[in-house]
Structure 1
Amino acid sequence: MSERVELDVRTLEPARRHQIIFERYNALGPGEGYVLVNDHDPKPLYYQFAAEHAGDFTWDYLEEGPEVWRVDIGRPAAQ
């Protein structure tokens, strides 16, 4: 895996976080991704990805709190 760019949403207004996260995801090409940095477990975001992008995203926890969560989010490479 190549070095991933971080998207740190901890300083963003909570109401805008999902919008920004999905804008970044939608701009990814096959095989690309980023590391989401958050101040809480983004499990609800995972469920939103699963509902809206079933089978078309990867989700790997890199750090699981208690103060910082880091999740590698990606778009699978074309097969």
Structure 2
Amino acid sequence: MTTLDVRSIPPVDRHPTIHDAFDELEAGETLTIINDHEPKPLFYEFQAEVDEFDVDGYAVEQAEAGKFVAEFPKRAE
């Protein structure tokens, strides 16, 4: 599992950084991101554009105020 805290990354650079990290995963691995808001737009973007994204395995929780932890799994081959 790879964890990426994007809270310190400028918003304009977050999605490209997350996509790059997801692309580096092996099939069946999960990218966990830590964000300052619920990443619904990112979820919809992945759902529409990333065939390897396992939509059913996606999970998100609010760990505390200003900290959301989301799991973006890559389909197993």
TM-score (norm 2): 0.84
Correspondence 1:17 to 2:8: no
Aligned length: 73
Structure 2 unmatched ranges of 5 or more: none
Identity of aligned residues (%): 34
Judging changes above 3 Å, is the alpha-carbon distance between structure 1 residues 20 and 73 closer, same or farther for their aligned structure 2 residues? same
Higher helix share: 2
SS in 2 for 1:12: coil
Whole-angstrom CA distance in 2 between matches of 1:47 and 1:10 = 19
SS in 2 for 1:77: coil
SS in 2 for 1:41: coil
Structure 1 unmatched ranges of 5 or more: none
Q: What does residue 6 of structure 1 align with?
A: 3
SS in 2 for 1:25: helix
